[in-house]
Every structure is written in C-alpha cells, then in structure tokens.
A and B are shown apart, each in its own frame.
Chain A
Amino acid sequence: MRATSRSRRTVLGALLLCGALTATGCGAKTGDAAGGGKAVAADTSGDTVKVGLLNSLSGTMAISEVTVRDAVKLAIEEINASGGVLGKKIRPVSEDGASDWPTFAEKAQKLIREDRVAATFGCWTSASRKAVKPVFEKNRSLLFYPVQYEGLEQSPYIFYSGATTNQQIVPALDYLKSKGTKSLYLVGSDYVFPRTANKVIKAYAKANGMTVKGEDYAPLGSTEFSTIANKVKAAGADAVFNTLNGDSNVAFFKEYKSAGLTAKAMPVLSVSIAEEEVKSIGPQYLKDQLTAWNYYQTTETAANTAFVEAYKAKYGKAKPTSDPMEAAYTSVYLWKEMVEKAKSFDPEKVRAAADGTAFEAPEGTVTVDGENQHLAKTARIGRIGADGLIDEVWNSGEPIEPDPFLKGYDWASGLS
C-alpha cells in the first residue's frame, strides 16, 4: 500500500506542476485594444490565388449545398478561362462543413489560417453562418454568403449575395395582399429563419389589416404532418405562408393534398422551395403553388441563357439551376470585380472598393451596397408548373435596395 500512496502523491504533484505551467500562459484581457487576433495575409505568391469553398458535402444539408459549390466552381472555371483575377488563376480549396455548425467554424479557421485563402464562398443555414461569423471577423477575412436569409445582420466581413427580408418576404406579402388575401396561416421549420420571418410577417399583417390564423413549427427533419394539415384546414385561412425546410416539405405537401386542400382554394407560398426541391417533392403535389425568389431557371435574360447552358453542359441536362446557385455564381464575379477595382486581394481594400460594384447577373443587374454589403436585387413571384419548373407571375420591376434591419418600414419599427 505504501507504493500506492507514494504514486498518488507523485501524480498529485505532477498535476499541480502542470497547473502552474498553465497559469503562466495568460494573454490579453477582454477589452484590450485589438487583442491578439492578427489577420493572416492571404497567400498570393506565385501565379495563383486560393479561395475557400465551405459547404456541407455530407449530412442533411449536402443535398442543397453541393449544388451551390458546383455553381461556384463553374464561375471559377469561367474566370480562369478568361484570364483570372489580377492576372492570377483562382485555385479553389474545398472543405466539408458536414451539416454541423461547429465543424463549419473549425473548417473556416483552417481555410483562413492554414490555407491562407483570399476569400471564402459558402455556408447555407443561418446557424452555420452565425457559427463562422466570429471566425471571419477575428481573422479579418471575407465570406460570401449566397442564400436568402432572415436579415437583422450586418457583418463587415460578410457579403450577402442572397435576398434579405425586404427583397423576398415583404414583396411576397405585397403580392398576396394585391391578390386579396386577408388571412394567413404560418407553417415553418423550427429554426431561426422561419421564426424571424414569421415575426416580420406578423408585424406586416398587423399593419396591413391581415389576420394570422395560426402558426406552427415542426422540428427540422420532421416528416409527420397530418395534424398540421388538419389544423391548417380547420383554420380556413386565405393562404399559407410556408417556411418549412428540406424533407419536411415533402411530407407537408403530400398531407396537404390528402386533406383535400388545393392551390386554388388555399394557395401555399413557399420561400425555401426552389427547382431542386420541386424535383424531389414531385410536381404532382406542388402544381400551381407559389414561390418567392429573385431568380428562376426560366428568368429571361441573356446572362441566364448562358448560365443555364454552361451549367447543364458541365453537370448534366437533368440538373436544374436555382436561386441560391445563381447567387453563389454571381458572388464569385462580384468578388473579382471588387478585387480588380481595389487592385489588391487585401480584404480591407476589397471592402472599401465594394460600394456600387455591379454585375450583369443571370437574375439581371445586381449592385453592391457598400454600407450593409448586401445586393440590390429584383424580387420575383413564381408559380410551379407541371414540368417541375417555376414560371414567373410577377416581379418588382426594378432592383429593390437591401434593408436588412427593415429601417425603411414603419410597421417594422418594433422588430429589432
């Protein structure tokens, strides 16, 4: 037993020693000017410049995010074929976020610190964006985020190339109102975007004389919607505003049809169903339902004809193009324009050059707002056809200026 107690003492001593060692390593306190977060300069030596592609290649989000990465790769190829950026070819470094938010943060750090990329393109869910935001801010590196989102954010190191609320949800509500919709039922997945979007919708409804007859959230990945369909039916609203995500849409629309609800009697306006999702749900269940986006595969511009043709040539005839893909594709070109305007890959100089940078995107002209780093975009309402494509039934005519905090809307004053 003596041996044991001696070994116990030694272990204790070793632990104390290690503890003492730990205490010597302390660094800056919070509030110290500019802690230790030194920006790592991008590696632009040689004739290439690296950019990061940060998407979920595995896990539940892979379905959507792989298409976005494909679109970014297409843009990079096109740019390289026409001479690159500032005379340098772009070399993409792809990382898998694995549909897991802490992994996104880890991989963002790797791209910036180990690979020393000049900019990163990617993220889909708001949760993954929120997870990487501090990483990009601390390292002063740029992220281009391609998906429509819930607004209420403005990070100096993120460029938002998807729509904010006033470019998608508000125009959609305006459209419904113009069609005589007096009451709404809100169905969404249980996460940040639907909950925030529904807050905006309720504020809008209150100010515009609409009533919200009910509000339901299903856990992400939930596939049992018979009760929600019953609730929607019993409430008898004029329209349903749908912010469900992914798999849940399939179950919801199947149940919706089974309950005898139709696009004619009670249209569903969805903000997360693009061409790719229509394909997996089936037009049988979706025909004539409405969607709100800034771009459809059918959008008629010269740039879009070229984009769709190039995409299908590279990835196959059966692959549709969609709004987030287009926004991701556009963001690469916008980055190129900004870099060339700044004549530097330095994020601070690129940001300074951002204001007013414009690009003839497949969705039409988009312009960067230098202050909030969102884009001015045209809003479009579409109707899902029997062929699985979405036809535009209304658009805002001209690009809408981004307003992520809805400061220009009186009814939204209590929101943030």
Chain B
Amino acid sequence: MTLTAPPPPAAPPEPARARRLLPAAGPRRTLAAFALGAVLLFAVAPLALTDFRLGLLAKYLCTAIVAVGVCLAWGRGGLLTLGQGVFFGLGGYAMAMHLKLADAGPGNLPDFMVLYGTTDTLPWWWVPFANPVFALAATVLLPMGVAALLGSLIFRRRVRGAYFALLSQALTAAFAIWLVGQQATTGGTNGLTDIQGFFGYALDDPANQRMVYFVIALVLLALIALARQLIHSRYGELLVAVRDSEERVRFLGYDPARVKLVVYVVAAGMAGLAGALFVPAVGIISPALIGIVPSIELVIGAAVGGRASLLGAVLGALAVAWAKTALSEEFPAAWTYFQGLLFVVVVAFLPGGLASLARTVRARLARRRTGADEDGAEQKEAAV
C-alpha cells in the first residue's frame, strides 16, 4: 500500500505495469496490509480499548479520512489545500442540522433556536435537512458542489501554488467568521451541540457509540481502497504529471485545470464525509473546528506521515491526533513546542514524511558505501 516503496527486487516487472510511472506494491502485499488494518480496526481495537478510548479513536479516524483526501490533493496533485476545514464543516453541519431536527421532533425548533433565535419558524434553508436522505446526500454533495464551484473559478484562471494555498486559507477563515455571525440559525460560536440520537439510535448508549466507531472505520477502509484505485488509474498518473510539470501536461493537450478540479472535489467530499461522521462520534460541530488552525492541523498529519503515501498519510494523521491528546494531557505548553518542532523537522528535513524514513536512510547508507550520488532522483521526487 505504500506507493512510494520500491517493488521487491526479486519480482520481475509485469508487462501490464511497465507503462506506469510509479511502481506499485504487489497486490498480495496490498491485500495483506489491508487485511491487517481491518483486523486491527474491527477486532483488536474494540477489545483492547475502553469505551472512552474507543470514542477517541473514532475521532482520530475522522481526521484520517480527511488525510486520505489531503494525500490525493496535496501529495499526488500538489494542491496544498489549507481550507479542508470548510468542507469538513459543511459535512458536519449538514449532518448535525439533520440530527438536531430529528431530536427536536417534527414541527419543533431545535433547542438553541428557541433560546437565541429571532423567529418562530424554521429558516428555509434548514427545512430540507429534516429529510434524512437529503441530509445524508448533502454531507458529501454539498462540500463537493462548493469545491467544484470554487475550484472551477480558481483553477481556470491558473491561480496556483502559494496563491491557491493562501486563498484556501482565507476562505476557511471567512467561513468560520460567517458561521459565528449567524448565531440565531447556526448556533454561533457554540456550534450545534447536545446531539441525542443518530437516525433513531440513542448516542449515549455505549453499544451505539461502538456502532458509530465501526461505521467510521468501515468508511475509512472503503475510502482508502477507493483512493488506491484512483492513484493507480490513468487519471492518477495524469495527476502526478500535473503536479510535477503542469506546462508539459498542457502542451500534451490535456487540461490541467480539469485534472486538478477532480481531485479537489474528491478531497472535499472525503472531508465532508469525515465531518459528518465526526458529529455522532463526538456529539458537537462548531466553528472552532473550521478556522485556520484546525485546517492546518488536518494537513499536518499527512505531512508527518508522508504526503504522497496513502498509508503514511493515514497513519500520520492518527499518530498526530493521538500525540495531541496524550501530550497535551501531560504537558500543555510542551505540546506546542513539540508540534512546532515536529513540523519543522519533518517538512524541512524529511519531506517524504516518516514513510520515507527507511528509504532515505537506506539511500544515505548506499551512497556512503559507493560514494556515488544516487540521491538525485529521490531529491527531485521529495521536492514536490
């Protein structure tokens, strides 16, 4: 599953794969890794962890789902999206709006609207969310739609690189400010809290919390499988080509804007789904999860683990989320230093992330032995 890992030297290259730009791990290794992941998530974790820790793991898995999208958009496509918070929030709010309406019962207003609202009727844009099918569809389609609109505007005009990163960051800030300003209809800074049920199941029952955990784990596995398919398709190759040299791809007759738009929209959908699943797992969605800092944190994990490697990005996101809980429990001030340092060290000195650590060390050793500069090609790949 680690896509950047070199193929086992003994295996002769299959003819069907010869045209691929990237060597893929053999299907057997992929399957083994996938099965191991499934066993860990579905058998080991529920048995080994307390209900509370399992709930935390569910939360971490949500950030890992976002990381799958970040890996595609940033690692493969070179789009540093610092605005994943917007899509995470859209998905989360779509889900939470439905659950709040379901809690309130037909015809009633959600509790916070009764307290802080200005009208006795439900705002029109809340109304369709009472329908579970609409709400579920919206958790994915709404972020994708917004991403499609924004992306088509931005990419068509060839806004890219740093401009794109800064613009996406500003957008997430604006979205958070807007949400906070609409207290009567969005709950303001409080966000939507105190969610009781999840499609009829009471969320305070530990058995149902486990069910939510399983759903999240299932979605994560499914999305990893989907992302892998995408990476190994013709489109995946085109994407990497756009990342590495947009002009050349254009000269070859492709439209890079369209290639980038697809991955941007897919990553947005994944972030939206993660946000939607976060709501039943944690019981809250608020603007605090959407601003600039949470959006950067969604990217950190992927950077630390290895942005271009699916497994690296997912494990990195899980590890960073876990480290945040573990370290901030013990040393809140030290956590900030550690977070900053981790970021500096990994991005500056190990751009392939921890996933590339073994390879980098091996390359260094080999170079020391032979004295030859075998590092050049790798430097180039790492430089994206």
Interface residues of A (CB under 8 A from B): 1, 3-4, 6-8, 10-11, 14-15, 18-19, 21-22, 25-32, 35-37, 57-58, 95-96, 98, 100-102, 105-106, 109-110, 113-114, 125-127, 130-131, 133-135, 138, 152, 190-192, 195-196, 217, 219-220, 416
B209-238: CB near A (< 8 Å → 1, else 0) gives 011001101100110010001000000000
Closest to B232 in A: A4
A58 to chain B, nearest CB (A): 4
Closest to B103 in A: A30
Max count, chain A CB within 10 A of own CB: residue among B56, B214, B289: B214
Indicate if the CB atoms of A26 and B208 lie closer than 8 Å: yes
Measured between alpha carbons, how far is A310 from B192 in the docked complex, in Å?
41
Q: Pick the 10 closest A-B CB pairs, nearest first.
A: A27-B207, A36-B205, A30-B197, A22-B214, A37-B204, A27-B205, A7-B27, A35-B202, A191-B189, A57-B332
B382 within 8 A of A: no
Indicate if the CB atoms of B335 and A127 lie closer than 8 Å: no
Stretch from B160-168, B175-183, B260-268, B358-366 contacting the other chain: B175-183
Closest to B285 in A: A102
Indicate if the CB atoms of B52 and A110 lie closer than 8 Å: yes
Q: How many A-B residue pairs have CB under 8 A?
A: 176
B126 within 8 A of A: no
Interface residues of B (CB under 8 A from A): 16, 27-28, 30-31, 34-35, 38, 42, 50-52, 55-56, 59, 103, 114-116, 177, 180-181, 183, 188-191, 193-197, 200-202, 204-208, 210-211, 214-215, 217-218, 221-222, 225, 229, 282-284, 286, 288-289, 325, 328-329, 332-333, 335-336
The interface residues of chain B lying within 8 Å CB-to-CB of A27 are 201-202, 205-208, 210-211
Indicate if the CB atoms of B218 and A15 lie closer than 8 Å: yes
Indicate if the CB atoms of A25 and B27 lie closer than 8 Å: no
**With A7-B31, A109-B52 as contacts: A25 and B214 at CB distance below 8 Å:** yes
Max count, chain B CB within 10 A of own CB: residue among A58, A101, A126: A101
Indicate if the CB atoms of B286 and A195 lie closer than 8 Å: no
The interface residues of chain B lying within 8 Å CB-to-CB of A134 are 193-196, 283
B189 to chain A, nearest CB (A): 4
Indicate if the CB atoms of A106 and B59 lie closer than 8 Å: yes
A397 to chain B, nearest CB (A): 31
In the complex, besides A102-B286, A102-B288, 10 extra interface pairs with C-beta distance below 8 angstroms are A7-B28, A18-B221, A25-B208, A30-B202, A36-B205, A113-B51, A131-B190, A131-B284, A131-B286, A138-B204
The interface residues of chain A lying within 8 Å CB-to-CB of B208 are 25-28, 36
13 contacts between A and B (CB under 8 A): A11-B34, A14-B34, A18-B221, A25-B207, A27-B208, A29-B197, A36-B202, A101-B189, A102-B288, A106-B59, A113-B50, A196-B116, A217-B181
